[in-house]
Chains A and B, each alone.
Chain A
Amino acid sequence: MAAVFDDIRLEDIPVDDVDMQDLEETYAVERSIEFDRYVVVDGAPVAPEAKVGALQKVLTKLFSQAGSVVDMDVPVEEGRTKGHLFIEFEDAGAARRAIKMFNGKKLDVKHRLWVNGLDDMERYGRPDFSTEYREPVVPEFEATEYPRSWLQDETGRDQFVLQKGEMTAVFWNRNNLQPENVVEPRRNWSNSILNFSPHGTYLFSFHDQGIASWGGPQFKRLRRFAHPDVKAISMSSTEKYLVTFSSEPLEVSDEPNEACPFGPESRGHQLCIWDVATGVCVKTFALPPQQQLQWPMVKWSFDDKFCARLGPGAIAVYETEKNFQLLGGKVMKIEDVQDFSFAPKGIKLASNRPNDPPSTVMVYWTPESNNQSCKAVLIELPNRRVLRTINLVQVTDVSFHWQNQAEFLCVQVDRHTKSRKTIFTNMEICSLTAREFPFEKVEIKDRCMRFAWEPNSDRFVIISRSENVNDNPAIAKNVVSFYAPEKKVDKKGVIIDKELSIFKKWKLVRAIDGKFSNEITWSPAGRFVCVAAIGKIGSRNENIDFYDMDYPNTEKIINTATDVNATLRDVAHINYASATDYEWDPSGRYLAFWSSAWKHKAENGYKVFNLAGAIVREELITDFNNFFWRPRPDSLLSNSEKKKVRKNLKEWSAHFEEQDAMEADSATRELILKRRNWLDEWSKYREACKQTLSESGLSICDCVELSTKDEDCELVEEIRETVVEESTEEVPFFEE
């Protein structure tokens, strides 16, 4: 057979077309010369040549802490080392670690090591390094429009934002009337949500490149904060700083770049702090290692003078005005610290002198350890004075709830029984304005799930949940409890025990059990509170309950305790099962609930209720995403001015009633306007008359003094008879 194939020969087979690309790639040597594995060490002891070996040994041992040392080159001149040397690490990471660890490290009394990368060498070590000072590039000053112009609305209306699909619109709230557009609805304003700053001055939108701030009457773009891939933002207390967080570490090129807001030291950092007004990045942080992410990662004192981050076994406090340097140059080492919190307001401590500025107070807690009980500690900044420590035992968790004026702090202590099977809550309530910071304990049998202080007041509502009941989720077992300070009054309603106003004792006003409720929201104006069960789709019962804590008719209240400073009454029960979120308007008059398409697709839309649970407005919108009110800064009015307003409320009321009537009905509006015209005309006429009279030397006496004496009065009695009906009827005579 083989003979047949003689014409085919192995050698003749053409193979020129065979693809060798992959092989070439495999064997290609693409290594360039690497320098980032090397560091240069300066400040090493100068030793005779003979001792090079010993020196190398010592230094290798030292630098091995950063990574394994491959080689060490010790230049020698005239029989002595030069005091600097080069180390080769196995990889670039080790080299970087070495720089971080040993740069500036004191080897001994005489020697301090300086460690630099070879790129530093290139940058700074060149003899031709420009030693000239260059002005930093600061963006030109731009005068912004008044960012709080919305507060100057004539009728004092509030704004809210609606997001639906890609569209975002800002509206004026007009009670139950159709809302009015503030600006034209915009498409793709933000990639995801929009956020107002805490006082409503700025609106932040999310983009791939970073964050943009918007403001002014037309919501123009103000600044851009180029932090790629931003995931979360938070604002400082006074809207001065913006904190952004990205899951991607920053990449900063070595070359100074005009467009890049970050310096080289920011490489790999994930947190940035920006100056909101100018859009300049003022500080960046890397994430603390091995820690659970807990937003916000940067917490601010009430006046933005300090910000702080929680690190492992320490709290880092920075002074913002000193270029974000660590307070006192170092972190506050607190072993095993779990959480901390700034007081939301400056506190006039009882120990302070009257003219001292309010103090910045911080509270943190540490858990139980072998030889220490759990502790919650109040300290004052910046002097780090410990104001008060409370010791706790059998603690599972601690959380802090500040009253918004920082008058009270509730330390919620979730404690476990000795068997560790059930958890119950103690509430240690501290009065911060009192001397010695007395703690009052409120114990409940169950575990507290939610806690909410009444704004500007001393009452609170909690939702607790008993854990040892059966686990059927269909059974409502949450308990809503209302607490108020004890009030002892005599029969005339005068408070007997004056001390109670200082040393408060909280009492349960009423506990309502068998609820699914899981959220508490107080009206920012206080008095009214709404307790809602959110995320319980399918519950057919009312899931939103409105309560009035100061119901005026004391006979119709649902209190179980009478000697408390509260008259509780449930004022409305509403069923809005598909609600996913809620927010009070900043004035505390309206509460909006909405059902967001981000959470589920059922009945998307929003409903606005007034503080008593009466529905004001509702809209069903497909793909509705978000509803939020524009916050307002604190009122500029002083307390006395406010008091005056409340005193003259009747006049104001008349005015506003009229205004509302006008708004509501055009006919009424015209009538009112007409009347006003008439009044104007008449007063003009009167003025004119006055004028003419005064010209002719006469004065008007429009006030006639009327005597109220009895003899001047005459009693006029008038009797009026009215014939309602008259009818005639013929009566037949019987005797006929």
Chain B
Amino acid sequence: MAPPVLRPENALKRADELISVGEPQAALQSLLDYITSRRIRFADPAAIEPIVFKFLELGVELKRGKVIKDGLYQYRKHVQSSTEGLKSVGAVSRRFIDLIEKKMSSEQAKANAEESTEEDLEGGVTPENLLISVYEQDQSVGGFNDEAVTSWLRFTWESYRTVLDLLRNNSQLEITYSGVVNRAMQFCLKYNRKNEFKRLADMLRQHLDAANYQQQKSKQYTVDLSDPDTLQRYLDQRILQVNVSVKLGLWHEAFRSIEDVHHLLSMSTRDPKPSVLANYYQNMAKVFFVSSNYLLNSVALQKFYDLYQQNPKATDEDFKFYASQLVLSALSIQQDDLPVVGYDPLARLAGFLNLESKPTRSQVIEAVSDSKIFSRADEPVKKLYELLNSDFDVNTLKESLASLLPELNSKSYFTQYVEPLKSFTIRKAFISASKQFGSIKLDELFEHTSLPSPFDLSPLDLEKSLLQAAMNDYVSFSIDHDAGVVSFMEDPFELLGGSTATNADDEQRNDDGYEETHVEEEPEPILTRNSAVRTQLIELAKALKETEGFPHASYVDKVRMARNELIRQNNAIIASEKEAAEERARQLEYEKQSASGVPLTAEQVVEERQRRMKEEKEAAEARMEAEARRRAEEKRERELAAINEKTMLKMIEDINAKGLIFIDPKEAKNMTLEKFKKLTVELVSKDKKDLDERMSHAFKRVDHIERAYRKLEAPLWEKDAQKQKERDLESYNKLKQMMVEKAKKDHEENLRIHDRLVKIYPSYLHFREKVIAAQKSQIEALRAENAAKLEAAKNARLQEVRQQRYNELIARRKEELAAKEHDDRQRMLQDRLTKERKERERVNKEKDEAARKQREIEEAVERTIKRNVSATPAPPVRSAPPARAAPPPRASNEQVASPAPQPEKKLTYAEKMKLRRAGRA
């Protein structure tokens, strides 16, 4: 049954329903079907996401890794065309990882919890459930709990792998990718999955390779490694990888990771964060330490220390710790007084630390002795340093170390360097012993070199390290176990002769002359490899003996010299061989030129033959090569020619199809574009010329024929013209006849009609009268009617007009009246105002007058009072006038100017009259 097309919400609902009825498998399938259907390609990823989440939840719950993988890949395929889609893929992946981790941790917890109880149940693995487990989906049938956790682990790991593969190498998903990488590494760390971690690292490496490869192809959303952020992310991943691998103790993996980091660092333009880098160097130091490469360990530590100095949080304590560690590490570096002949693998490793060449111990020691570091180191370390470097004495070593070591031993950083320091010290002790004693009793030597704990070694170990030192060529000795004597040798070539005597002889002879020895050895005819080596060495020894200071130098120095000499010789040999080869080549050349007729020796013949064979071979090779090249060239030319021919053929066909010009298609082979163009132009112009000629000829022909015709025609037209008048007359007559005939016919017809109609005429007249009468009366009636109507209409019109005019007149009159009235009113108003003003003026005047009179009266009264003051008591001031004289605050505007403002309106008529009378009085 085809799954019905669903809307997103319905898809969810359906899944829920299926789960609720206990069909989670079906639900998962339905969700898978939905998210893998093509139509979601056009849907909004945001709408689909919840479904994918649901799907993932269910899938994780059911542990259907393959289904999930399928679903996720399909989903990515559908949505990856858009940026939103890719974002959604990222979100989905994160969600998936979240889910799986949650599940994993819960499972782990369950397993842990169960473990405790399980122990009591003493393992439920019974044959019965073993059988059941074979066909059950659920692997966690009793007794397989441990298995269950493992299977969950596997599931989780698979999921990581799926997701990483899903997210890899897409610039849009980079961040999610790096997040998942981190989580995957954490997972490995947490559950201690070393193998998985290795695989993970491999996978990441593959991804990076792919990214590098993709770089060249321009594809959408490719990872751009030139982007500093991206590179940084990758770098961080790798540094973490180093970190984790160190933590997991996967040294090999760590080393490979370091390689990766180094590669990325070389690409990066931006410096990584110091802290990260410091951590990286620390890890690196660890790796080198584990690989017992104390030299690089020390260098790495030194780098780390340099970076660590920038750490603002670092305490003096930390510094002391790291500085001491660094000094110790430097001290642990193996003796490297002897130069290495041949290839040194360390050189490559040094590259990882950005060192140009392999550092030497002395360089490192020197760097360490820098006050910045050295001053911060612990006191005992400093002492050790002094002891081992400047004032090393075999005799006092034991005592000084004895005092120093217990102190050092208490330091945490010391223990790991015990081993290298011990071996270093012992070796040094041996070397100095070898210098001091020509031969020494074994016990004595051991006594000398047995150091206090923790540098203590059993005599057997001591002997072993003595042998080791000899192997490394720092000392040379022979042990006589019977006597228990060790005799050190001073000369590295002592052994060559087999005995010291011969050696002495050699030396003596050497004094005598170089030639002799040579001669003496000459007769020995057998040239074995051994003897060749020996001769070589002897010669070396001879050469060395001549050098200054050699005889008196210590063994080590002698070895160093020898080695240096060897290196020099090697270089010289290489150079001379090179020269010889060149010379031989020149010789050959010359011989060839001078066509030697000189008889050759057998050897020369052989050589010559070999040389010739070689030459021939080379020549043949060269010939073959040339042949191949020529053939390729020819093939190319043939192909080009074929293409050319094809195109030309087409062009020729095209142009031929136009029909204007014709080029033989067989010519296509020899045609080039220029030739073709030239030919075309030529042919076209030729054709054009031809055409023009032919056309002008054609025109002339037609023209001339026509004119000739006309010339010949002229007399005929002349004849025709003669007949013109005749013809005109004829046609005229014909027409006239026709017209007359017609007229006659018409006339006859008319007559016939007349004959017929004349009979009707009387009744016609009668009818006519009747009609006239009828119509007349009708018309009369109409006229009368219309006259009446006209009259009425006229009257109506008059009435209407009259009324209208009347109305107009009335209106006009009304208007006039209104105007007049208005004017009147205006005038009246004016009059009144003037009147009032005059009145007021008059009243004021009167008042003034009254006031004056009043004052006079008052003055008179006062005078009287003054006169009668003693006689009569003061008369009561009863009159209002003074009070009234006081100006009232509310003077009306009009009377502001009046000297004595009188609010006349306030006065009643009676008062006015009173005033008037008073005024008059």
Q: Which residues of A contact B (CB under 8 A)?
A: 1, 4-5, 8, 10, 13, 15, 18, 20, 23-24, 26-29, 31, 33-35, 38, 40, 42, 73, 75, 82, 84, 86, 88, 114, 116, 118, 120-121, 124-127, 129, 131, 133-136, 138, 141, 143-144, 146-149, 151-156, 263, 275, 277-278, 280, 282, 323, 525, 527-528, 548, 551-553, 555-559, 569, 571-572, 587-589, 610-614, 635-637, 641-642, 645-646, 649, 652-653, 656
In the complex the two chains form, is A15's CB within 8 Å of B790's CB?
no
In the complex the two chains form, is B736's CB within 8 Å of A138's CB?
yes
Cβ-defined partner of A323 (8 Å) among B660, B732, B742, B805: B742
In the complex the two chains form, is A152's CB within 8 Å of B801's CB?
no
Residues of B within 8 A of A75 (CB): 763, 766-767
Residue among A15, A27, A569 with most chain B CB within 10 A: A27
A-B pairs with the 9 shortest C-beta distances? A156-B710, A558-B659, A125-B757, A612-B695, A136-B743, A27-B786, A146-B721, A27-B790, A587-B706
Residues of B within 8 A of A33 (CB): 771-772, 775-776, 779
For the complex formed, measure the closest distance between the CB of A71 and the CB atoms of chain B, giving whole angstroms: 9
In the complex with contacts A121-B761, A635-B713, A278-B731 CB distance below 8 A: yes
**Complex Cα gap A537–B774 (Å):** 71
**Complex Cα gap A106–B22 (Å):** 106
Residues of B within 8 A of A42 (CB): 756-757, 760
Task: Classify the secondary structure of A's interface with B.
Answer: loop
Residues of B within 8 A of A144 (CB): 724, 728
Residues of B within 8 A of A125 (CB): 754, 757-758, 760-761, 764
Task: Classify the secondary structure of B's interface with A.
Answer: helix
Residue among A155, A552, A642, A653 with most chain B CB within 10 A: A653
Interface stretch (choices B393-401, B667-675, B745-753): B745-753
Residues of B within 8 A of A38 (CB): 767, 771
For the complex formed, measure the closest distance between the CB of A585 and the CB atoms of chain B, giving whole angstroms: 10
Closest to A19 in B: B797
In the complex the two chains form, is A121's CB within 8 Å of B713's CB?
no
Residues of A within 8 A of B787 (CB): 27
In the complex the two chains form, is B704's CB within 8 Å of A649's CB?
yes
Closest to A613 in B: B695
Cβ-defined partner of A645 (8 Å) among B709, B753, B760, B802: B709
Residues of A within 8 A of B798 (CB): 15, 18
Within residues 665 to 705 of chain B, which ones have a CB less than 8 A from any CB in chain A? 687, 690-691, 694-696, 698-705
Residue among B703, B716, B725, B768 with most chain A CB within 10 A: B703
Query: Does B813 make an interface contact (CB < 8 A)?
Result: yes
Query: Does B662 make an interface contact (CB < 8 A)?
Result: yes
Closest to A550 in B: B698
For the complex formed, measure the closest distance between the CB of B24 and the CB atoms of chain A, giving whole angstroms: 58
Cβ-defined partner of A5 (8 Å) among B789, B805, B810: B810
> What are 21 inter-chain pairs, A to B, with CB distance below 8 A?
A4-B813, A8-B809, A26-B790, A27-B787, A34-B775, A124-B750, A125-B764, A138-B735, A144-B728, A152-B721, A153-B710, A155-B707, A278-B732, A552-B698, A558-B658, A587-B706, A614-B696, A649-B701, A652-B707, A653-B704, A656-B704
Residue among B724, B741, B772 with most chain A CB within 10 A: B724
In the complex with contacts A144-B724, A275-B735, A131-B754 CB distance below 8 A: yes
For the complex formed, measure the closest distance between the CB of A221 and the CB atoms of chain B, giving whole angstroms: 16
Within residues 434 to 492 of chain B, which ones have a CB less than 8 A from any CB in chain A? none
Cβ-defined partner of B789 (8 Å) among A27, A147, A151: A27
**Complex Cα gap A642–B712 (Å):** 9
Residues of A within 8 A of B729 (CB): 141, 143
**Complex Cα gap A42–B721 (Å):** 57
17 more A-B residue pairs beyond the given contacts A15-B805, A275-B735, with a C-beta to C-beta distance below 8 A? A1-B814, A13-B802, A20-B794, A34-B775, A86-B764, A138-B739, A141-B732, A144-B724, A146-B720, A146-B721, A278-B732, A548-B695, A553-B694, A556-B660, A556-B690, A587-B702, A588-B702
For the complex formed, measure the closest distance between the CB of A25 and the CB atoms of chain B, giving whole angstroms: 10
Cβ-defined partner of A23 (8 Å) among B658, B700, B731, B797: B797
Residues of B within 8 A of A73 (CB): 767, 770
Residues of A within 8 A of B247 (CB): none
In the complex the two chains form, is A525's CB within 8 Å of B747's CB?
no
**Complex Cα gap A42–B660 (Å):** 84
In the complex the two chains form, is B694's CB within 8 Å of A551's CB?
yes
Query: Does B714 make an interface contact (CB < 8 A)?
Result: yes
**Complex Cα gap A1–B695 (Å):** 110
**Complex Cα gap A667–B460 (Å):** 141
Closest to B796 in A: A23
Query: Does B744 make an interface contact (CB < 8 A)?
Result: yes
Query: Does B661 make an interface contact (CB < 8 A)?
Result: yes
For the complex formed, measure the closest distance between the CB of B710 and the CB atoms of chain A, giving whole angstroms: 3
Residues of B within 8 A of A645 (CB): 705, 708-709, 712
**Complex Cα gap A566–B332 (Å):** 111
**Complex Cα gap A199–B35 (Å):** 88
For the complex formed, measure the closest distance between the CB of A17 and the CB atoms of chain B, giving whole angstroms: 9
In the complex the two chains form, is A148's CB within 8 Å of B721's CB?
yes
In the complex the two chains form, is B738's CB within 8 Å of A31's CB?
no
Query: Does B717 make an interface contact (CB < 8 A)?
Result: yes
Residues of B within 8 A of A124 (CB): 750, 753-754, 757-758
**Complex Cα gap A118–B710 (Å):** 63
Number of chain B residues close to chain A: CB under 8 A: 91
For the complex formed, measure the closest distance between the CB of B758 and the CB atoms of chain A, giving whole angstroms: 6
**Complex Cα gap A555–B716 (Å):** 43
In the complex the two chains form, is A558's CB within 8 Å of B660's CB?
yes
Query: Does B609 make an interface contact (CB < 8 A)?
Result: no
For the complex formed, measure the closest distance between the CB of B802 and the CB atoms of chain A, giving whole angstroms: 5
Residue among B661, B716, B757, B817 with most chain A CB within 10 A: B757
**Complex Cα gap A613–B222 (Å):** 65
Residues of B within 8 A of A323 (CB): 738, 741-742
In the complex the two chains form, is A136's CB within 8 Å of B786's CB?
no
In the complex with contacts A125-B758, A589-B702, A116-B753 CB distance below 8 A: yes
Closest to A568 in B: B659
Cβ-defined partner of B708 (8 Å) among A141, A559, A652: A652
**Complex Cα gap A303–B204 (Å):** 105
Query: Does B803 make an interface contact (CB < 8 A)?
Result: yes
In the complex the two chains form, is A278's CB within 8 Å of B735's CB?
yes
Query: Does B806 make an interface contact (CB < 8 A)?
Result: yes
For the complex formed, measure the closest distance between the CB of A326 and the CB atoms of chain B, giving whole angstroms: 16
Cβ-defined partner of A156 (8 Å) among B662, B706, B768, B776: B706
Cβ-defined partner of A637 (8 Å) among B707, B713, B786, B814: B713
In the complex the two chains form, is B742's CB within 8 Å of A15's CB?
no
**Complex Cα gap A569–B716 (Å):** 38
In the complex the two chains form, is B764's CB within 8 Å of A8's CB?
no
Cβ-defined partner of B705 (8 Å) among A569, A636, A646: A646
Residue among B662, B731, B817 with most chain A CB within 10 A: B731
Query: Does B920 make an interface contact (CB < 8 A)?
Result: no
For the complex formed, measure the closest distance between the CB of A717 and the CB atoms of chain B, giving whole angstroms: 37
In the complex with contacts A571-B691, A612-B698, A649-B701, A18-B721 CB distance below 8 A: no
Query: Does B783 make an interface contact (CB < 8 A)?
Result: yes
Residues of A within 8 A of B735 (CB): 138, 275, 277-278, 280, 282
Within residues 786 to 823 of chain B, which ones have a CB less than 8 A from any CB in chain A? 786-787, 789-790, 793-794, 797-798, 801-803, 805-806, 809-810, 813-814, 817
For the complex formed, measure the closest distance between the CB of B664 and the CB atoms of chain A, giving whole angstroms: 12
In the complex the two chains form, is B757's CB within 8 Å of A120's CB?
yes
**Complex Cα gap A555–B753 (Å):** 81
For the complex formed, measure the closest distance between the CB of A636 and the CB atoms of chain B, giving whole angstroms: 4
Residues of A within 8 A of B884 (CB): none
In the complex the two chains form, is B779's CB within 8 Å of A29's CB?
yes
Residues of B within 8 A of A277 (CB): 728, 731-732, 735
Closest to A114 in B: B756
Residue among A34, A116, A559 with most chain B CB within 10 A: A116
Query: Does B210 make an interface contact (CB < 8 A)?
Result: no
**Complex Cα gap A612–B770 (Å):** 83
Cβ-defined partner of A649 (8 Å) among B662, B705, B710: B705
Residues of B within 8 A of A635 (CB): 709, 713
